[in-house]
Structure 1
Amino acid sequence: MFKYTIKRAAWCEHEYKHCPSGCPIETAENRLREAHRRWHDCADSYNSPEDFRDGLNSAIQALRNVTFALQSVKSEIDGFESWYAEEQDLMKADPVLRWIVASRNTIVKQDDLKTLSQLKVTVVPSYDAEAASVADEQMAWSELPHAKPGAVVDTTLDVPVELTIEEVLAELTHVDLPMSIRQEATVLFEHRWVDEKMSSYELLALLAHSYGHLNSLLTRCHELLNMRRVRIPIPESDKENRVEAFEELEGLSINERLPCMSSTRQYRITRIRLADGSEVKEFKNWHVEYDAAVAKEAVESGIYGVQPEFDHDAVGEMQTDTQLGVLVATYAEIARGILRSGQDHGWFSYFFRKGRMAGALVHATIDKQGKHAIASEISRKALELGADTVLMIGEAWTSKMEQTPDGAYVPPSLHPEKTEVLVVDAVSKSGATAGGILSFHTLAGEPPHREVEIGEFTTQSSASNILSPTRAAWGIRALAGAAFWRAQTKAR
């Protein structure tokens, strides 16, 4: 019997050993693990040309060595020749994999790749513009197997890579924008490394696509061997039988790429405030680990009052407007208890997959530009976790809509008649949405000893625009709910 060893790699939380010791294709697995590590080397050194080139060369060679290692053990695998002939046809039909083969030959036998540096500048005055930028990257992912790039979003401009940030911002001073929007707009400086022979696609994306195909290839080879390939360990708390302590997922949600490869924007984008040219760094996203003991202590202490029961049957897999409405109302009641305790509620995002919690983040920032960055991070985290539902909750200001003399709307935080609210929003991959506002008024004190008067919870049929990037990452456009699913079914 083969022995499985579960140990998370120190350099990436998503890397585990996928097959048992003694597996005939263990060497091919090791080359794929090596390619994954070199991908991270490339990402971490994206702004250092020499280090990026070294990582790129190593990653390409490791990817190519996966198939070399696989073919070296063909005599040990029954039916390999006929099976692999079909696999080779699939790989030859993929332009990115053909590029990997050609690039490896160039690196080993001739010279480094002829890489080019590109700079794209995107003005982001709103969450919808941030969503367009997210959608552009995800569109590129979907087109990679065909190598037929589509049009980029119209808020993006190609500019000479040698231009400085100051020079670009100087040109943007001529753009006609209301002052209030200019003060809140972010300028995204997106750096891209490309190979001159595949210049439509960024190099990290090409490596990730190739990794995904080879990852899938090794899964199918294990099936040929009648062996199980471990995808992800079951959490420690769920283990009843350590010999069988594995969960084989139905399939990775991003075409066999690892979750860490779901987006490359965080490595390539610098965020600058249009108003003053300062870099946007004053925002945080903290990962939250659920602690059952802490949760139990909070409930037993009664500090948050009597907490509502979570109706799993009514919430289901959270893919309809009605199910999301129940989810939103439940979290609003939990929030009511937190507000009543006198503490600051905070700003959280919760991620769900098939009706079960998949992760959570805590957010903090000082301005609208930081909120743009957080909205982007929520969308990236949804992809990384394979989430199909996201719920966001946090305190905010609200006010009636009034325009400034130059045509922009006065932000609620600056309105003289603003009121405090707690906003709860949820979106799902089906296109369903739900939201609501819990109004409250601070009577005295500061958290954690604040006295508040809490009003009624008002439901809304749609979610805030801050979750627009998440919907864009899922590929959702105008259709919502059941209409979206019908359209997807027809497309398939």
Structure 2
Amino acid sequence: MTPDPVPPCPVPDAHRRLMDCHAQWHLLHESYYDPDVFRLNLNSLVPNLRNVTWLLQKRKAVIPDFETWYPQFQQSAASSEIMKWVVKSRNRITKESDLELLSSSRVVWIRDWLQRAEGTASFEPRKTTPEILLTLYRNGVPPVGTATLKRRWVDKALPDWELLAATSEAYARLSQLVWTAHRAFGIERCDLPDRSTECVTSALADSLVRLPCMHLAQSELQTHISMSGGVYEEEAKRFDFDPEKMEEAAVRYGELAYPVSGPVENVPGFMAMARTMMERDGSHGTFAFLYSGQQQVAVRALQFGDQQSKILIFEGIADLVESTRADGVVIIGESWTALQTEKEKELKTVFFPARDRLDRMECLTVYALTRDGRHAELVSMVERGENGETRCAEPMDVSFEAGMNTMVPIKLRWADMQKRGI
């Protein structure tokens, strides 16, 4: 059967310019450590972002219902700090002067889940890790925990936004706008050819999700340092569902009912799946599922080397929450639990984490949290038989405690996103 022909692009000028912006964004990223080239690329990208809307408006006479949906975009853009910045910056670049760029590093020091501090500092690009550590020690940062260095270019007129993040946010909004124009013609995909750069394609997004390549590129600009020396590597691997692997899983585990509701509502279904897999394999990995409403927008398989790397991985999940606009998170995995001692109950504290206690118990946990504060958690105790068999007890609906610490970076990110209007 011959596949249906792909329709021609209904707004080719605006769509091509959007693809130009994608390519220029990567040039901006590649020149991050060269101030003059960075400024040159930024001066080219910002006007082109603005030009996408103008090129779309030039075809308004032939675009169905343009006068209905385009004013909705204008209203949204008028309330967006980023889109207002794009308009003002284009005028400054073309009529007045360069943007007032400021370069710094944001330093995030993390001792544990609840103790952290942020500040800004300036480091030479060629400065070694020991030299950076020495500077941090001299500035009073304790030699415990981790420090994350995030390289930052900001415009004085937009101090709360790093410029790669700001321009990728603007790109996401414009991609959704061009997608809306395609939908007005009754199509979602057109024949506009892709570019030679693999990620620069004519694909469009129907939501404000940043492109995976942009998310990855921004993560490359930060370094995680152990305050006792050494560099941490994140281990949060993208997990895509493979139809063949799903068939293999059906043979191994039987027909698993995959949950398809919102994150909080999915907790019982995920627990049922986790218990089946745990009893079959004797172990269970840790996974993060991110949602926008009821739509699953990302899945990550998580591997922890130690407690500090676990904290950093969940900091990375918080970055992904912003890139995907996720408003709900589900975490599944094995964990340790222990009962509080009478002294701990009296003092309302915990002296020793469950992982370090001799009386620790193994369990499966599934917990969920949404941006509006809804949450759920189920725990299933794991029992090991003499012959190596594994049994998972009936799940218990418990207070939201096991997942509270790991959700701290995500809750902080949602608060920061609220502050920046996203």
User: Does the alignment reach a TM-score above 0.5?
Assistant: yes
| Cα 1:418–1:54 shift into 2, 3 Å | farther
Which residue is equivalent to 2:166? Answer: 206
The correspondence for 1:168, drawn from 124, 135, 139, is 135
The correspondence for 2:153, drawn from 193, 203, 207, is 193
Number of residue pairs matched by the alignment: 387
Q: Is the 8 A contact 2:22 2:171 kept in 1?
A: yes
* Distance across 1 between alignment mates of 2:110 and 2:155: 28
Which residue is equivalent to 1:378? Answer: 317
* Distance across 2 between alignment mates of 1:84 and 1:169: 50
SS in 2 for 1:127: coil
- The Cα of 1:70 is off from its aligned counterpart by 4.5
Which residue is equivalent to 2:246? Answer: 295
Unpaired segments ≥5 residues, structure 1: 6-19, 131-154, 176-181, 233-246, 478-492
> Given the alignment of the two structures, is residue 431 of structure 1 paired with residue 373 of structure 2, yes or no?
yes
SS in 2 for 1:272: strand
Q: Is the 8 A contact 2:49 2:86 kept in 1?
A: no
Q: Is the 8 A contact 1:115 1:196 kept in 2?
A: yes
Which residue is equivalent to 1:278? Answer: 230
| Cα 1:73–1:472 shift into 2, 3 Å | same
Report 1:388-467 matches (<5 A): 388-401=327-340, 409-442=351-384, 450-452=388-390, 454-462=392-400, 463-467=403-407
| Cα 1:395–1:231 shift into 2, 3 Å | farther
- The Cα of 1:444 is off from its aligned counterpart by 6.5
| Cα 1:381–1:71 shift into 2, 3 Å | closer
Which residue is equivalent to 2:410? Answer: 470
The correspondence for 1:159, drawn from 111, 115, 121, is 121
- The Cα of 1:45 is off from its aligned counterpart by 4.5
The correspondence for 2:300, drawn from 361, 366, 372, is 361
Give the structure-1-normalised TM-score: 0.64
Percent identical: 25
| Cα 1:265–1:370 shift into 2, 3 Å | farther
Which residue is equivalent to 2:185? Answer: 227
Please tell me the residue identity of whatever aligns with 1:418: R
| Cα 1:277–1:353 shift into 2, 3 Å | same
| Cα 1:76–1:373 shift into 2, 3 Å | same
Q: Is the 8 A contact 1:29 1:218 kept in 2?
A: yes
Q: Is the 8 A contact 1:96 1:210 kept in 2?
A: no
Please tell me the residue identity of whatever aligns with 1:461: S
| Cα 1:421–1:50 shift into 2, 3 Å | farther
Q: Is the 8 A contact 1:128 1:469 kept in 2?
A: no
* Distance across 2 between alignment mates of 1:84 and 1:299: 46
Please tell me the residue identity of whatever aligns with 2:88: W
Which residue is equivalent to 1:42? Answer: 28
* Distance across 1 between alignment mates of 2:416 and 2:38: 34
Deviations for 1:109-143, whole angstroms, at most 9, x for unmatched residues? Answer: 97x6553211222222233567xxxxxxxxxxxxx
Which residue is equivalent to 1:252? Answer: 207
- The Cα of 1:85 is off from its aligned counterpart by 11
Please tell me the residue identity of whatever aligns with 1:298: A
Unpaired segments ≥5 residues, structure 2: 191-202, 418-422
- The Cα of 1:361 is off from its aligned counterpart by 1.6
Deviations for 1:269-313, whole angstroms, at most 9, x for unmatched residues? Answer: 321122x132211x312222223343333333xx44x6665676x
Please tell me the residue identity of whatever aligns with 1:122: V
SS in 1 for 2:147: strand
Please tell me the residue identity of whatever aligns with 1:457: P
| Cα 1:211–1:426 shift into 2, 3 Å | same
SS in 1 for 2:136: helix
Which residue is equivalent to 2:15? Answer: 29
The correspondence for 1:104, drawn from 93, 112, 118, is 93
* Distance across 1 between alignment mates of 2:65 and 2:390: 71
Deviations for 1:72-96, whole angstroms, at most 9, x for unmatched residues? Answer: 6678779999x99999999789640
Report 1:4-23 matches (<5 A): 5=6, 21=8, 23=10
| Cα 1:85–1:457 shift into 2, 3 Å | closer
